[in-house]
């Protein structure tokens, strides 16, 4: 799966695929990730790939890669998530924000049969997403915090991994 993304998107320097409970939970909801919390807004558009079993066939790989024409973030229905970044830091931050957005979505109880979600005006979503991307895609203290914390943890657990 990763190789297909790297082959199709030359600017992809890092691909992250994970199966967190929260991303799987949101991917299973028909309406998916509602952009009604700041993390969901910050990551921008989210693409969706319907579950078809293992992602091994060429047709399914084409469908998956097509998701990335509209977004760097894809929720795999009933499966998890996959994101790509222009750097490891960007991919990590997208995955981090997606997991946070999904965690809030699950915690809010606004899924099927749950509470009606609070909805933010599309104009505000568009403006905030543009502002946020300009912030987290650059090297700023805002985007550096989670990344630096994970680097410190990795260096403690795997001395010399980045040398």
The more confident residue out of 62 and 14 is: 14
Number of domains in the chain: 1
Residue 34 within any structural domain of the chain: yes
Could you tell me the residue range of the domain that residue 54 belongs to? 2-157
Is residue 163 domain-resident?
no
HEC letters along the chain: CHHHHHHHCCCCCEEEEECCHHHHHHHCCCCCCCCCCHHHHHCCCCEEECCCCCCCCHHHHHHHHHHCCCCCEEEECCCEEEEEECCHHHHHHHHHHHHHHHHHHHHCCCCCCCCCCCCCCHHHHHHHHHHHHHHHCCCCHHHHHHHHHHHHHHHHHCCCCCC
Question: How high is the pLDDT of residue 50?
Answer: 84
Decide if 162 is inside a domain. no
Q: Kindly report the CATH number assigned to the domain that includes residue 131.
A: 3.40.225.10
Predicted model pTM: 0.75
Pick the more confident residue, 68 or 72: 72
């Amino acid at each position: 799966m990763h190789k297909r993304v790297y082959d199709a998107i030359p600017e992809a320097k890092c691909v992250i695929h994970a199966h967190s409970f929260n991303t799987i939970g949101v991917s299973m909801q028909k309406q998916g990730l509602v952009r009604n919390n700041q993390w969901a807004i910050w990551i921008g558009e989210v693409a969706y790939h319907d579950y078809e079993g293992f992602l091994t066939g060429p047709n399914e790989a084409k469908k998956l890669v097509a998701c990335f024409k509209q977004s760097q973030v894809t929720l795999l229905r009933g499966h998890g998530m996959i994101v790509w970044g222009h750097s490891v830091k960007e991919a990590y931050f997208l995955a981090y924000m997606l997991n946070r957005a999904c965690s809030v979505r699950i915690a809010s109880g606004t899924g099927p049969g749950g509470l009606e979600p609070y909805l933010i005006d599309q104009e505000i979503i568009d403006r905030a997403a543009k502002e946020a991307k300009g912030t987290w895609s650059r090297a700023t203290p805002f985007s550096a915090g989670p990344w630096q914390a994970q680097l410190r943890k990795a260096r403690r657990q795997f001395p010399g991994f980045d040398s």
